[in-house]
Amino acid sequence: MTTELPPASRRGILKASLVGLATLAGSGLATAAAPKPVAAAARPAGKVRNVIMLVPDGMSTGSLSLLDMHSRLTTGKPSFWNRLRARAGTRHATHTTYAHESLVTDSAAASSAWSTGIKHKIKHLCITPDGRQPRPILMRAKAAGYKVGCVTTTTITHATPAGFYCNAPERNDEKAIGEQLIERGIDLAIGGGAKHVDPALEAAQAAGKAMGLLVARSMDGLRAAIENPAPRILGLMSSEQIPFVVDRRGPAREQFNLAEAAVLAARRLSAGGSPFFLQVEAGRIDHAAHNNDAPALLGEMLEYDATLEALVAYTDQNPGTLLVTVADHATANPGLTLYGPAGRLGMERTAAATHSLEWILASVAKTTQKEVRGLELAKLAEQHLGIPLGDDAPRLLQNVYDAIAVDPFTARSTAYGVLGSLAANQFGVGFISINHSADAVDLLAVGAGSDGLPGLIDNTELHDWFTSLLGLAPALS
Ligand SMILES: [Zn+2]
């Protein structure tokens, strides 16, 4: 299976794009973690009834390595992802993500490629480069008798879930996407983004067109809703994106649990005996990597790993379920880069930070005079990251506020880029950019039908594989 690259002028730049998984041999960590794969599934794979697609948005191989090192250091065991990778019967593939016109994709083009089998331009959701509107995969699955749903830690109208149910020329028009979420009869949708969806919901309720939607706004509400006979469930767990794990403290700690929500969703969609197609997104791995924020990234990766473990357990217990986990693209390619004890100490410091860079930046008081914002930001960052940033940090951060270039790579000469670099001296985790990268990403598949997965697969080909397994109509007829 081969797919043409986008019409880039210099294909030679691709030659060295694949990043190998880091080996821990010789690091002192290997002794703590002989590779013990999780127990193999009790039943052999068979005909596919249900598909669960778990998307760690923006997860690069570097993020997987950080997760695994953290897991080994704190529990003595590899990450669940690596134990699953080593399990007999798990299928592994390299997955390519290029967009129609761009070697580096965004989530909209990537989700639309999975959803339709057609390469898209970035920012477009199921609107082809020549302006046609292919039917998104969840709408075709629904027409074929499948229950369909999405769960995410970002807004439920964000590009990754939206590409599976809507047609929109602009991913950022989340209000218009929210209208389609309500109108198109999605059986279950859980995530943040209430502010985008509520107007459409109110309008549909006023017009008597809410089509049996039961709305939950908390984990308790969601647990109750799952048992309710209402035809459709809408979980609006936050006005905007769900906060980073590292920021979910106090009452916010109970605000959302992705692993539990994902399993509740699968149970709910299967309750009436129908087959189902469910997309689950650990959506903020991408945001943490964009922000060059190692502590936030680690928190999101741990949440993803726990969700993967819960969904593998579901898949093992429910024959006919295919579970695929794959990122839509890599983001910012983090990696531990300090030698010797400094690297290990860096991992420990990363895990001990108490807030995200997003939270810290938002905490700089709006009333702070512009000329001392760099100083205030440096103080707040040292306090909540739990590390010294160095004497030069206030000046470098002030330069960002004053629009003076700090990093010769202009894509990193931002508050996040500079904070990320300053923190890297203590955390040991460096990032290559604040953008997505063109790297291929890892795909794991378990359960029914997974034995047919090729070892190299493009995002458009993943669509074709799903539709052939489920017998769905083409996106364009
Ligand atoms: Zn992104």
CATH number for the domain spanning 50: value is: 3.40.720.10
Q: Which amino acid is at 315?
A: T
Residues 392 and 464 in one domain: no
Residue 431 pLDDT > 70, yes or no? yes
Residues 114 and 75 in one domain: yes
pLDDT for the residue 44: 41
Q: Which amino acid is at 369?
A: Q
Q: How many whole angstroms from 121 Cα to the centroid of ligand 1?
A: 15
* Secondary structure class of 2 (helix, strand, coil): coil
**How confident is the model over 358-377, as pLDDT tens digits?**
999 999 988 889 899 999 99
Alpha helix (H) ranges present in 192-279? Answer: 194-206, 219-227, 258-270
Q: How many whole angstroms from 282 Cα to the centroid of ligand 1?
A: 12
45 token code pair: 């794979």
Burial label for 129, CB within 10 Å (0-12, 13-18, 19+), is middle
- 8 Å CB contact between 148 and 278: yes
Establish if 16 belongs to a structural domain. no
Residues 310 and 228 in one domain: yes
Q: How many whole angstroms from 391 Cα to the centroid of ligand 1?
A: 32
Establish if 189 belongs to a structural domain. yes
Establish if 14 belongs to a structural domain. no
Residues 375 and 456 in one domain: no
Q: How many whole angstroms from 331 Cα to the centroid of ligand 1?
A: 6
**CB crowding 47-56: b at 16 or more within 10 Å, else e:** ebbbbbbbbb
Q: How many whole angstroms from 419 Cα to the centroid of ligand 1?
A: 18
Q: How many whole angstroms from 272 Cα to the centroid of ligand 1?
A: 36
Give the distance, in angstroms, between the CA of residue 2 and the centroid of all CA atoms in the same chain: 26
Q: Give the separation between CA 56 and CA 441, rounded to whole angstroms.
A: 10
Q: How many whole angstroms from 285 Cα to the centroid of ligand 1?
A: 9
Residues 177 and 260 in one domain: yes
Q: How many whole angstroms from 204 Cα to the centroid of ligand 1?
A: 31
Q: How many whole angstroms from 289 Cα to the centroid of ligand 1?
A: 8
Q: How many whole angstroms from 333 Cα to the centroid of ligand 1?
A: 12
Please state the rounded mean pLDDT for residues 453-462. Answer: 96
Please state the rounded mean pLDDT for residues 218-233. Answer: 94
pLDDT for the residue 251: 74
Q: How many whole angstroms from 441 Cα to the centroid of ligand 1?
A: 14
Q: How many whole angstroms from 283 Cα to the centroid of ligand 1?
A: 9
pLDDT band at 5 (very low <50, low <70, confident <90, very high): low
Establish if 12 belongs to a structural domain. no
Please state the rounded mean pLDDT for residues 102-106. Answer: 97
Q: How many whole angstroms from 319 Cα to the centroid of ligand 1?
A: 34
- 8 Å CB contact between 62 and 294: no
pLDDT for the residue 242: 95
**How confident is the model over 384-430, as pLDDT tens digits?**
999 999 999 999 999 999 999 999 999 899 999 999 999 999 999 99
Average pLDDT of the chain is 90
Q: What is the tally of structural domains in the chain?
A: 2
**How confident is the model over 158-181, as pLDDT tens digits?**
999 999 999 999 999 999 999 999
What CA–CA distances, in Å, run from 103 to 6, 45, 131, 191, 424? 6, 35, 21, 29, 28
Establish if 243 belongs to a structural domain. yes
Residues 120 and 239 in one domain: yes
Place of tokens 């997955």: 95
Q: Give the separation between CA 373 and CA 135, rounded to whole angstroms.
A: 49
Residues 296 and 321 in one domain: yes
Establish if 34 belongs to a structural domain. no
What CA–CA distances, in Å, run from 331 to 169, 434, 444? 23, 8, 19
Residues 327 and 412 in one domain: no
Residues 119 and 86 in one domain: yes
Q: How many whole angstroms from 364 Cα to the centroid of ligand 1?
A: 24
Q: How many whole angstroms from 109 Cα to the centroid of ligand 1?
A: 12
Residues 167 and 188 in one domain: yes
To the nearest whole percent, how much of the chain has pLDDT over 70? 90
Q: How many whole angstroms from 217 Cα to the centroid of ligand 1?
A: 26
183 token code pair: 């109108």
Q: How many whole angstroms from 12 Cα to the centroid of ligand 1?
A: 25
Residue 13 pLDDT > 80, yes or no? no
Q: How many whole angstroms from 287 Cα to the centroid of ligand 1?
A: 6
- 8 Å CB contact between 229 and 213: no
Residues 55 and 173 in one domain: yes
Which has more confidence, 63 or 11?
63
Q: How many whole angstroms from 346 Cα to the centroid of ligand 1?
A: 25
Look up residue 125 and give its DSSP letter: B
**How confident is the model over 25-40, as pLDDT tens digits?**
333 343 344 445 566 5
What secondary structure does DSSP assign to 379-398, as a single string? HHHHHHHTS---TTHHHHHH
pLDDT band at 265 (very low <50, low <70, confident <90, very high): very high
Q: How many whole angstroms from 14 Cα to the centroid of ligand 1?
A: 21
Q: How many whole angstroms from 290 Cα to the centroid of ligand 1?
A: 6
Q: How many whole angstroms from 115 Cα to the centroid of ligand 1?
A: 18
Supply the range of the domain harboring residue 364: 335-430
Q: How many whole angstroms from 5 Cα to the centroid of ligand 1?
A: 21
Establish if 462 belongs to a structural domain. yes
pLDDT for the residue 23: 29
Entry pTM = 0.91
Q: Give the separation between CA 447 and CA 28, rounded to whole angstroms.
A: 34
pLDDT band at 254 (very low <50, low <70, confident <90, very high): confident
Q: Give the separation between CA 334 and CA 448, rounded to whole angstroms.
A: 33
Residues 349 and 257 in one domain: no
Q: Is the dihedral of CA 292, 296, 298, 302 positive or negative?
A: negative
Q: How many whole angstroms from 159 Cα to the centroid of ligand 1?
A: 10
Establish if 419 belongs to a structural domain. yes
**How confident is the model over 308-337, as pLDDT tens digits?**
999 999 999 999 999 999 999 999 999 999
Q: How many whole angstroms from 45 Cα to the centroid of ligand 1?
A: 34
Place of tokens 């983001």: 331
Place of tokens 């081969």: 2
Please state the rounded mean pLDDT for residues 95-123. Answer: 97
Burial label for 154, CB within 10 Å (0-12, 13-18, 19+), is buried
Residue 209 pLDDT > 90, yes or no? no
What secondary structure does DSSP assign to 71-120, as a single string? HHHHHSS--HHHHHHHSTT-EEEEEE---SS-SS--HHHHHHHHHHSS--
Burial label for 138, CB within 10 Å (0-12, 13-18, 19+), is buried
